[in-house]
A and B are shown apart, each in its own frame.
Chain A
């Protein structure tokens, strides 16, 4: 328990550091949002308009940096991440709120499925070492080294196109109103098939490889020989003795990848113009939309931290050796 509290304190500190950095970085970048708006409207803004913009963005005050910092924290606790420049005056929190479910659904589900499938196949391949499954390993190595945006591009070129079942971009049929009905959900699923498949194919092979290798390592341990000598059923030796131990390193990797779900598989979302967080970040960077970028980074930071915390808890549950004290 003390261990978990210590970890929690550590993550709180990390979160504070990340937020503080998030506060200072935009202030160190030359220029400000109003100037970039001015340049966007190419001098068509009146002085009054400019002045009111400064007020709107909260850049009019000549508060000390400390006061600004305190305000920043106050805003954060109200869930206020500021206003977007590009979709002005939409609040950043709303934009993120719109994009997040798409990413969570697509990348979240594919990550879970790919971990479960990959680990399962890895256990099989590692346990039946020397069988035909070893023949699949070069293929998985190849697939795991293929960047998935490239796989996505190939998938679009080959499978999508006019008249194809697979749409090449977007999250749902243009013209549909997002609602929880069958037509919209069906369209969303149809749009997610290709991106999901590309993510699955390229990320699953990594899990297969690492799990298989851990299985092979663990299978040489003495306690596996003992388990065989005990005359336990093959399945029990494979799952309770070998896989149970081989899983430990993979769990850490899985928790990390959970953290990156929110960041979205940026490139896949770009390739498929998928309305998730990754695509939003891409557009924010393109438009120099600092508040939006800041907000997205914040969300990603938090999800990575939470995922790490989950990894710690999972480890604590799975490996008794980490539970040092009662």
Chain B
């Protein structure tokens, strides 16, 4: 596997302070390697988006990062901790190294400015030396990259369709050729045809430009074919991490298994659709032990008392990790 580009270490994000604080993300360890697509899946409220906002320091108040590190490895130069960057350094880091495509395709563009203004201002902010003509040429290239005619530069956001707007956002995300692109449910607001088109385009662009993608979605079926590795989040923690194919073929965590059985397979043998009974945990009153145990069909003795930690499963599976008492080699890690 190639070298890491973004390492998240023991990241904790709370909403609120003190005893009232809700722990939305707890002790998350996640590594994004250069050029790979890492999928992050989980139900709503599992902390996926909070994780994305946390690692880019975009958390709206009352969100606070209560611990951990986010180490970014630039192409040349020493690694930096994103969480301890000064405001000016952080501004330089944003977009140039890590860009984000947000969930709301509809509202991500400023309604009163032309597409060109919004594409150009980010280039100008990070590369003040460029001429306007050069920036404009870059903006045209970017739009062409995502399959939009260059004359759309003069359009206002309300004159574009939802799919076009999201493609403009993707073009914008690639404007400074960042190493990492975080996609927070980029296709949720779009219909499936558009979803397909955009994802195909994205895969192609990644091939060409070689950026790494952290792809956040609640739609595991999307990740299975689109990403290299998948991490599953539940109740603010990563509960399983594995290469996409292996995760699909043989899920170790019962929660992952439940997720995989909530959508039909288009190819291969028929499977029974089951879904997961119950509802996501209340972050203010998390169950003791494994957060999933009240809903888990296979819960047994230690599950409601002790928290299993994420670690390699007992069998000979490299590159996998799971947090479940069914795979005790992982759970044996604490101490």
Q: Give the B-binding residues of A (Cβ under 8 A).
A: 130, 220-223, 225-233, 236, 240-241, 244-245, 248, 318-321
A222-B102, A231-B96, A320-B158 given; A236·B111 CB < 8 A: no
Measured in the bound complex, the distance between the Cα atoms of B125 and A286 in whole Å is 63
**B109: interface (CB < 8 Å):** yes
Identify B95's interface contact among A220, A225, A230, A320, CB under 8 A: A230
Q: Are B125 and A231 in contact (CB under 8 A)?
A: yes
Which B72-131 residues have C-beta < 8 A from chain A?
90-96, 99-100, 102-104, 107-114, 121-122, 125-126
Q: Are A321 and B158 in contact (CB under 8 A)?
A: yes
A321-B111, A321-B156, A321-B158 given; A229·B92 CB < 8 A: no
Measured in the bound complex, the distance between the Cα atoms of B113 and A222 in whole Å is 15
Q: Are B112 and A221 in contact (CB under 8 A)?
A: no
Measured in the bound complex, the distance between the Cα atoms of B110 and A228 in whole Å is 12
Measured in the bound complex, the distance between the Cα atoms of B125 and A228 in whole Å is 12
A229-B94, A231-B122 given; A223·B107 CB < 8 A: yes
**B278: interface (CB < 8 Å):** no
Since A230-B121, A232-B91, A240-B110 are in contact, a sample of 6 more A-B pairs with Cβ atoms closer than 8 Å, ordered by chain A residue number, is A222-B108, A229-B56, A229-B99, A229-B102, A231-B96, A241-B110
Across the two chains, which residue of chain A brings its CB closest to B109?
A223
Q: Give the A-binding residues of B (Cβ under 8 A).
A: 56, 58, 60-61, 90-96, 99-100, 102-104, 107-114, 121-122, 125-126, 156, 158, 169, 172
Closest Cβ of chain A to B183, distance in Å, is 12
A-B contact pairs, 13 of them (CB 8 A): A220-B60, A222-B102, A222-B103, A223-B108, A226-B108, A230-B95, A231-B90, A231-B92, A240-B113, A240-B121, A320-B111, A321-B156, A321-B158
Closest Cβ of chain A to B117, distance in Å, is 8
A229-B94, A319-B112 given; A221·B158 CB < 8 A: no
A225-B60, A226-B102, A321-B156 given; A231·B113 CB < 8 A: no
Measured in the bound complex, the distance between the Cα atoms of B99 and A228 in whole Å is 11
Q: Are A231 and B126 in contact (CB under 8 A)?
A: yes
Q: Are B112 and A225 in contact (CB under 8 A)?
A: no
Identify B107's interface contact among A221, A229, A240, A318, CB under 8 A: A221
Measured in the bound complex, the distance between the Cα atoms of B60 and A175 in whole Å is 64
Query: Which of B100, B104, B110 lies at the interface centre, i.e. has the most chain A CB atoms within 10 A of its CB?
Result: B110
Measured in the bound complex, the distance between the Cα atoms of B122 and A220 in whole Å is 20
Q: Are B110 and A227 in contact (CB under 8 A)?
A: yes
Q: Are B94 and A231 in contact (CB under 8 A)?
A: yes
Q: Are A222 and B95 in contact (CB under 8 A)?
A: no
Residue numbers in B under 8 Å from A233 (CB-CB): 91, 125
Q: Are A229 and B58 in contact (CB under 8 A)?
A: yes
Number of A-B contacts (CB under 8 A): 78
Closest Cβ of chain B to A322, distance in Å, is 10
Query: Which of A221, A229, A241 lies at the interface centre, i.e. has the most chain B CB atoms within 10 A of its CB?
Result: A229
Measured in the bound complex, the distance between the Cα atoms of B95 and A229 in whole Å is 6
Closest Cβ of chain A to B165, distance in Å, is 11
A230-B122, A233-B125 given; A320·B156 CB < 8 A: yes
Measured in the bound complex, the distance between the Cα atoms of B91 and A300 in whole Å is 51
Residue numbers in A under 8 Å from B100 (CB-CB): 226, 229
The 3 closest A-B pairs by CB, nearest first: A231-B94, A222-B107, A320-B156
Q: Are A245 and B99 in contact (CB under 8 A)?
A: no
Residue numbers in B under 8 Å from A240 (CB-CB): 110, 113, 121
Measured in the bound complex, the distance between the Cα atoms of B103 and A183 in whole Å is 65
Closest Cβ of chain B to A117, distance in Å, is 23
Identify B91's interface contact among A223, A231, A320, CB under 8 A: A231
Across the two chains, which residue of chain B brings its CB closest to A247?
B112
Measured in the bound complex, the distance between the Cα atoms of B155 and A320 in whole Å is 10
Measured in the bound complex, the distance between the Cα atoms of B112 and A245 in whole Å is 7
Across the two chains, which residue of chain A brings its CB closest to B172?
A230
Residue numbers in B under 8 Å from A130 (CB-CB): 61
Q: Are B94 and A230 in contact (CB under 8 A)?
A: yes
Query: Which of B96, B111, B158 lies at the interface centre, i.e. has the most chain A CB atoms within 10 A of its CB?
Result: B111
Measured in the bound complex, the distance between the Cα atoms of B149 and A221 in whole Å is 28
Q: Are A225 and B102 in contact (CB under 8 A)?
A: yes
Measured in the bound complex, the distance between the Cα atoms of B91 and A245 in whole Å is 23
Measured in the bound complex, the distance between the Cα atoms of B112 and A241 in whole Å is 8
Closest Cβ of chain A to B7, distance in Å, is 20
Q: Are B112 and A318 in contact (CB under 8 A)?
A: yes
Residue numbers in A under 8 Å from B158 (CB-CB): 320-321
Residue numbers in A under 8 Å from B111 (CB-CB): 223, 245, 319-321
Q: Are A232 and B104 in contact (CB under 8 A)?
A: no
Residue numbers in B under 8 Å from A230 (CB-CB): 94-95, 99, 121-122, 125, 172
Measured in the bound complex, the distance between the Cα atoms of B61 and A241 in whole Å is 19
Measured in the bound complex, the distance between the Cα atoms of B110 and A248 in whole Å is 13
Q: Are A231 and B110 in contact (CB under 8 A)?
A: no
Measured in the bound complex, the distance between the Cα atoms of B88 and A233 in whole Å is 9
Residue numbers in A under 8 Å from B95 (CB-CB): 229-231
Q: Are A225 and B122 in contact (CB under 8 A)?
A: no
Residue numbers in A under 8 Å from B60 (CB-CB): 220, 225
Identify A223's interface contact among B92, B110, B122, B156, CB under 8 A: B110
Residue numbers in A under 8 Å from B93 (CB-CB): 231
Q: Are A236 and B121 in contact (CB under 8 A)?
A: yes
Residue numbers in A under 8 Å from B121 (CB-CB): 230, 232, 236, 240
Across the two chains, which residue of chain A brings its CB closest to B97?
A231
Across the two chains, which residue of chain B brings its CB closest to A224?
B110
Q: Are A232 and B122 in contact (CB under 8 A)?
A: yes
